[in-house]
Structure 1
Amino acid sequence: MKLVSFVRHGRPGFGVVAGDGVIDVRPRLPLFHTLLDVLRAGALDEVRAATADVRPDFPLADIALLPPVVGPEKILCIGVNYGNRNEEYKDNSEAPKYPSMFFRTPGSFVGHGAPLIRPPESEQLDYEGEIVLVIGKEGHRIKPGQAKDHIAGYTLCNEGTIRDWLRHAKFNVTQGKNFDRSGSIGPWMVTADEIAYGKPLHLTTTVNGEVRQDDTTANLIFDFDYLLSYITIFTTLKPGDMIVTGTPTGAGARFDPPKWLKPGDVIEVTVPEIGTLRNGVEDET
């Protein structure tokens, strides 16, 4: 299934994508107001049964998409997680022994089709195409072989970053990673049963049609099994939590001169098994 969260005629909802349309889940399963409610209840099979062989209620074009999971407890992002990413920094450091991590707020992300917002404080808005794991089952100290049982599905992220604000402090990147509406998640969550676990996923990021990032998860330094087992040593993952798994080489900051995003640009993050996350850029007003 492809599951979306949306606003239609001012009303929030969630549904299942069927072709170019959406099956509205809330009227059919009124106990669940959001996709997060479904994940917390472990009720994806109920959604599947309630929407089987049902005609769409309205076209996709008639809704404004939100990030697939609205209001998660945690959005945990992984840095420097593709081969050659460490070399991009040109600081002669060894390959990382452990993942780099930081949290992002839900308000720092918009959905598919909404503009990324460049703030007046900086012109250094950058893109980072990434694959996102959506957690469906609570877990603490998850063993690597059990990781796939905790993943409800997959979505995509443009982990938009204000680069100069990453360097405002000595040891953290929180400021540059959390400007309101600077990144995006979507367009939908593809349930885990649709994608063979461990299959290499081919990720590309384009800006105005130009390919900037192109890699596969076969090149991950820390794979999905390792990430879930490592993360759950120090925190319990809850249904609806999202893990943004890292970006390949080719972000705008790595060009000479850098290629920052500007109003009018269109960024597309694509994994064929998941879809394409597309966003434009606007200045904050």
Structure 2
Amino acid sequence: MKLIRFGEAGREEPGVVLEDGRMIDASRQFHDYDEGFFAMGGMESLVAWVEDGCPDGDEIPPIARLGPPVDRPSKIVCIGQNYLDHAKESGNELPAEPPIFLKANSAWSGPFDEVIRPRGSTKLDYEVELAVVIGKTAYLVSEEDALDHVAGYSVFCDYSERAFQKEMGGQWTKGKSHDSFGPMGPWLTPAKDVSDPQGLRLWSKVNGELRQNGWTGDMHRKVPYLISYISRFMSLLPGDVIATGTPGGVGMGMDPPRYLTPGDQVIIGIEGLGEMKQRVVQG
């Protein structure tokens, strides 16, 4: 079972993907996959509903638009320079402390929606990342208990405008937060179905060319550490998303740099968690 949300942007309904590939509408039983759903034991209820045969659940047409698999989170917490090869291509060493930045939740987007190159953009870039979705409030949690706070995992792309990020002063947020810069999907895989979040291949392709090809096991700071570390500074709420960093191969790191332009197609994937596909359009 995997969690999906389908329908018009901003009006998505909850659904599931069954093991046989059928997509089933869960909206008669569940309001949405949001903070309340995860906080009130919604995952357990959803599993029970699926095991009972999805009563009152209609099949979703294959042509339905898929939105992000959880409702817009209270925050998207991102980790910078968490893979050695990406730190080196950025001209840095691995940091002594994990850099944390927030991506505006208005960047939230579906897995197959267009990505918008902002007006004035000259350096639009891509970053494939493992997304961790929080299942229950995490504050001052230990590494040993951290994975107990995870609802599931998904594919995330941290789109970035490098000139906004690096050449305009201030924090990285301005280069990370444009509308459409935070697609996630195509579904949420429950944590119980991912035996090892550090054992997954992740990749990106631009116009069919493989650009990134890494393993989550190469993270400098692993998922339990990141959850514990972030929870020192803020409460992670149910439905919040942690983007865990990207491996090498981004456009900024090439010689010369190769940034995205309108018409480019980006495919982002993680082994066992699915693929997303976006086309770049001019804003």
Q: TM-score range by the shorter chain?
A: over 0.9
Please say if residues 161 and 183 of structure 1, whose CA atoms lie closer than 8 Å, have aligned partners that are also in contact: no
Cα deviation, residue 171, structure 1: 4.4
Give the stretch that moved more between structures: 122-131 or 243-252: 122-131
Quick one: structure 1 residues 167 and 192, their matched pair in 2 at CA, closer, same or farther if it must change by over 3 Å? same
Match of 2:31 in 1: 33
Please say if residues 211 and 249 of structure 2, whose CA atoms lie closer than 8 Å, have aligned partners that are also in contact: yes
Match of 2:184 in 1: 185
Please say if residues 39 and 135 of structure 2, whose CA atoms lie closer than 8 Å, have aligned partners that are also in contact: yes
Match of 2:4 in 1: 4
* Cα distance between partner residues in 2 of 1:3 and 1:165: 34
Match of 2:157 in 1: 158
Match of 1:24 in 2: 25
* Cα distance between partner residues in 2 of 1:82 and 1:13: 35
1:77 aligns with 2:78: yes
Please say if residues 40 and 136 of structure 1, whose CA atoms lie closer than 8 Å, have aligned partners that are also in contact: yes
* Cα distance between partner residues in 2 of 1:116 and 1:152: 27
Cα deviation, residue 248, structure 1: 0.5
Q: TM-score, normalised by structure 2?
A: 0.92
Please say if residues 143 and 228 of structure 2, whose CA atoms lie closer than 8 Å, have aligned partners that are also in contact: yes
Cα deviation, residue 138, structure 1: 0.8
Of all paired residues, the percent bearing the same amino acid is 35
Please say if residues 21 and 60 of structure 1, whose CA atoms lie closer than 8 Å, have aligned partners that are also in contact: no
Give the stretch that moved more between structures: 110-119 or 17-26: 17-26
* Cα distance between partner residues in 1 of 2:2 and 2:165: 34
Quick one: structure 1 residues 238 and 84, their matched pair in 2 at CA, closer, same or farther if it must change by over 3 Å? same
Cα deviation, residue 205, structure 1: 0.8
User: Where do 1:125-274 residues align within 5 Å?
Assistant: 125-274=124-273
User: Where do 1:30-69 residues align within 5 Å?
Assistant: 32-36=30-34, 37-52=36-51, 53-54=53-54, 57-59=58-60, 61-69=62-70
Quick one: structure 1 residues 10 and 137, their matched pair in 2 at CA, closer, same or farther if it must change by over 3 Å? closer
* Cα distance between partner residues in 2 of 1:80 and 1:280: 26
* Cα distance between partner residues in 1 of 2:15 and 2:75: 22
> Aligned AA for 1:86?
A
Quick one: structure 1 residues 60 and 251, their matched pair in 2 at CA, closer, same or farther if it must change by over 3 Å? farther
* Cα distance between partner residues in 2 of 1:274 and 1:231: 24
Please say if residues 131 and 155 of structure 1, whose CA atoms lie closer than 8 Å, have aligned partners that are also in contact: yes
Match of 2:114 in 1: 115
Cα deviation, residue 163, structure 1: 0.8
* Cα distance between partner residues in 2 of 1:122 and 1:241: 28
* Cα distance between partner residues in 2 of 1:255 and 1:59: 42
Please say if residues 269 and 277 of structure 1, whose CA atoms lie closer than 8 Å, have aligned partners that are also in contact: yes
Please say if residues 80 and 98 of structure 2, whose CA atoms lie closer than 8 Å, have aligned partners that are also in contact: yes
Cα deviation, residue 21, structure 1: 3.1
Cα deviation, residue 199, structure 1: 4.4
Quick one: structure 1 residues 198 and 270, their matched pair in 2 at CA, closer, same or farther if it must change by over 3 Å? closer
Q: Deviations over 1:212-260 (max 9, x none)?
A: 0011111101100110111011111110000000000010111122111
Quick one: structure 1 residues 270 and 198, their matched pair in 2 at CA, closer, same or farther if it must change by over 3 Å? closer
Cα deviation, residue 12, structure 1: 2.6
Q: TM-score, normalised by structure 1?
A: 0.92
Contiguous gaps of at least 5 residues in structure 2: none
Contiguous gaps of at least 5 residues in structure 1: none
* Cα distance between partner residues in 1 of 2:108 and 2:275: 16
Please say if residues 79 and 246 of structure 1, whose CA atoms lie closer than 8 Å, have aligned partners that are also in contact: yes
Give the stretch that moved more between structures: 114-123 or 244-253: 114-123
Cα deviation, residue 273, structure 1: 1.3
Cα deviation, residue 41, structure 1: 1.1
Cα deviation, residue 149, structure 1: 0.3
Cα deviation, residue 9, structure 1: 10
Cα deviation, residue 126, structure 1: 0.7
Runs of 4 or more off by more than 4 Å in structure 1?
8-11
